Structure 1
Amino acid sequence: MNQLPPPVRRAQTQQGTTADEYDDGPIVFRPASKDGQKARLSIQGPSGCGKTWTGLSISGGLAEGERFAVIDTERNAATLYVNDLPVEFDHFPMRRYNPRGLIKALAAAAQAGYPVVMIDSLTHFWKGAEGTLDQVSQVADSKYSGNTFAAWKDGGEIQDDMIEALMSFPGHVVATMRASEKWVLEKGSKTPVSKGLLAEQRKGIEFEFGVAAEMDEANRLRFIKSRCPSFRGLVLNQPDGARDIAKPYLDWLRSGAKEIDTSAWIDAAGTEDATPQSLLALYREVEAASALATPLMHPQTGQPTSLGAYIKERGTALKNAQQ
């Protein structure tokens, strides 16, 4: 069931918005910079390889002494390491794995101001109860007369929205994924050949992250993709996540870059003296920073939404009130 069409990125829309005003903006090229970039790191591996321990250590290093958030689908596995690692974190266990639930948890973590969120593990939102595969099966039966292929139109959107929220979280993100070894029979051979570890998530999801690594049972970590030059081709034996991974990653992200505080955008979107013109300009500013999908809790409804959708909703409401 992993042979799916590639994800399609869709613009965030909101019922009742003016698509031509917000979605048909000008194409403006700006000087490139790393301003506001955050760590996006995934670790995949089989059970017992040390994903949770290493993920917690990396998250603690990225948090630089602040408390961070852990979204736990592994039956409280992260809590077993309290007092074993020099990190402090707050913990939210999940038992149902609807991707929309992860979006809501990310919005709550963003609202609370956590500098880092760790998801342990992302696998459950793919193949667990109410995960993407389960969602597709349910939609196929209820909407498409059992046609699973047609149901991927809906399932793919749910998955894409989850990834957009994950990649747009205003802090650093560390995600673990279960993985199993992939064996193939090559042409002319009767002996299976190992092709490495295959993450138990949508095919290719590890490449959504800026840095992706895999771990084996010997607690050896190998980077399989990295935008950070320090990690390319690197293999670490029993790594110290804070020292060996978080520090060089932060040093690279901050080199020649400045921090961006998304809370200022949220405040500007909700201010009482906002106008349709100021909100459209704010939308363009957030769009230029690739932050439209930043998850947040709607200030009025308390439901998860995105920064872009919230700005658009307010701007459209104010414009309609003037007519």
Structure 2
Amino acid sequence: MREDVHRLALASALSDRVAVVDTERGSASKYVGLNGWQFDTIQPDRFSPLSLVEILGVAAGAGYGAILIDSLSHYWMGTDGLLEQADRRKHGTNSFSGWKEVGPEERRMIDALIAYPGHVVVTMRSKTEYVIEEDSRGRKVPRKVGMKPVQHDGIEYEFDIVGDLDHQNTLTVVKTRIHTLNKAVIPLPGPELADQIRDWLSDGDQVPSIAEYRSRALAAGTGDDLRALYREVEQNRLLAGPTIDLSGEPTVLGDLINQLAQDIPHRPLTDDEVDAVLAELNTADTLDSVSTIGRRLGKRVEMSPRGGEIIAAATARKTALSSPSQEAIHA
């Protein structure tokens, strides 16, 4: 069996809903049902960085708790990958001009990986890295210094755990933020490693999930609410979190919030929003506060099927606030 088994074992131990981005010609599908594992696969044939952002958005919207990308190297050297895109977009012989255009798309892909609302297991092909040194006789000789992932230099620093998996399926951790795994050597990584990862994650501060932020964005009634939510999401570094828009199309959380803010003046009020406005009108204690509610909602009241209820409630409230109190009449 190939190393796929242990990648799938880890992903399946991290979540009961697993999606696999299989760039290796359908190899992962051979293991569906093994050890009771059930997972869904997508087999892309093109590997632009933005296409992976879309895949992550669909997976997030479908509620997959773990996603396995086997392998991320295709998004570097595969068809439509970063190398090909940079070469295609260069101006003349200036190769750096192509990277200037592709760089933001690569950053968007990495940010989406980091902000995915679940566990992300990524594999990368590797190549042996050598340095040339002088031996005791003064001769130049190569010395093996380790394995280098087939991806952009420094990509390994983006992840919480990085390890080398050898042909005996032994994982050697070479970089990690989990102190208990520092320089660990783990034969046949699987459920035990997943338990350590979960224990470490449970010690951190809890922040709302991307799904929770999406629900809050959809429920927001004003541009001010959405702007405040955007700042909170930005503070928690989840603007690039993959999700889906109102049409079910893949997007990222920051773009969704911005789009909703632009759409608010042209969007009818939902039933929940109407109920909230009616409650707000019933407790308004000045004529100015009633008028403020009306200005805030603008034409959205007219576009809403229940807009008449709001107009009637606002009129009644203004009448009540304009009428002299019974105490004043009897005084």
TM-score, normalized by length of structure 2?
A: 0.75
The answer as to whether partners of 1:132 and 1:158 remain within 8 angstroms in 2 is no
2:226 pairs with one of 276, 279, 287: 279
Distance 1:147 1:124 in 2: 24
Q: What is the CA deviation profile of residues 282-309 of structure 1, one whole-angstrom value per residue up to 9, with x for unaligned ones?
A: 1122122211111122213x44321112
2:182 pairs with one of 232, 239, 242: 232
1:119 pairs with one of 64, 69, 77: 69
Give the equivalent residue in structure 2 for 1:9: none
Deviation at 1:259, TM superposition (A): 6.3
Structure index of larger Rg: 2
* Partner SS state of residue 292, structure 1: coil
Which structure has the higher relative contact order (CA within 8 Å, separation 6+)?
A: 1
Structure 1 residue runs of 5 or longer lacking an equivalent are 1-47
The answer as to whether partners of 2:14 and 2:119 remain within 8 angstroms in 1 is yes
Relative to its length, the structure with more helix (as a share) is: 2
Superposed, 1:18-33 pairs within 5 Å as none
Deviation at 1:246, TM superposition (A): 0.6
Distance 2:168 2:35 in 1: 20
Distance 2:258 2:34 in 1: 46
Deviation at 1:268, TM superposition (A): 1.9
The answer as to whether partners of 2:69 and 2:121 remain within 8 angstroms in 1 is yes
2:45 pairs with one of 66, 70, 95: 95
Same amino acid, percent of matched pairs: 35
Give the equivalent residue in structure 1 for 2:101: 154
1:104 pairs with one of 41, 45, 54: 54
Deviation at 1:322, TM superposition (A): 5.9
Give the equivalent residue in structure 2 for 1:30: none
Matched to 1:267, the amino acid is: S
Alpha carbons of 1:254 and 1:189: their partners in 2 closer, same or farther (altered >3 Å)? farther
Give the equivalent residue in structure 2 for 1:241: 190
Q: What is the CA deviation profile of residues 227-276 of structure 1, one whole-angstrom value per residue up to 9, with x for unaligned ones?
A: 01121011123x24112x111110111025446332121122123x5201
Superposed, 1:53-92 pairs within 5 Å as 53-63=5-15, 66-92=16-42
**What is the CA RMSD across the aligned residues, in angstroms?**
2.1
Give the equivalent residue in structure 1 for 2:252: 306
Do residues 265 (structure 1) and 217 (structure 2) align?
no
Distance 2:53 2:235 in 1: 22
Question: Greater shift after overlay, 90-99 or 261-270?
Answer: 261-270
Give the equivalent residue in structure 1 for 2:170: 220
Give the equivalent residue in structure 2 for 1:315: 261
Distance 1:268 1:94 in 2: 32
Structure 2 residue runs of 5 or longer lacking an equivalent are 267-296, 300-331
Matched to 1:192, the amino acid is: P
* Partner SS state of residue 191, structure 1: strand
* Partner SS state of residue 259, structure 2: helix
* Partner SS state of residue 198, structure 2: helix
The answer as to whether partners of 1:268 and 1:274 remain within 8 angstroms in 2 is no
The answer as to whether partners of 1:70 and 1:120 remain within 8 angstroms in 2 is yes
Q: For this pair of structures, how many residues does the alignment match?
A: 266
The answer as to whether partners of 1:133 and 1:155 remain within 8 angstroms in 2 is no
* Partner SS state of residue 96, structure 2: helix
Distance 1:84 1:170 in 2: 26
Give the equivalent residue in structure 1 for 2:116: 169
The answer as to whether partners of 2:172 and 2:185 remain within 8 angstroms in 1 is yes
Matched to 1:73, the amino acid is: T
Distance 1:164 1:51 in 2: 27
Distance 1:241 1:259 in 2: 27
Matched to 2:196, the amino acid is: P
Distance 1:242 1:189 in 2: 48
Deviation at 1:312, TM superposition (A): 1.8
The answer as to whether partners of 1:68 and 1:116 remain within 8 angstroms in 2 is yes
1:297 pairs with one of 244, 249, 252: 244
Deviation at 1:148, TM superposition (A): 1.2
Distance 1:105 1:307 in 2: 14
Question: Greater shift after overlay, 116-125 or 187-196?
Answer: 187-196
| 4+ runs deviating over 4 angstroms | 319-323
* Partner SS state of residue 129, structure 1: coil
Alpha carbons of 1:312 and 1:79: their partners in 2 closer, same or farther (altered >3 Å)? same
Deviation at 1:221, TM superposition (A): 1.1
Distance 1:107 1:196 in 2: 34
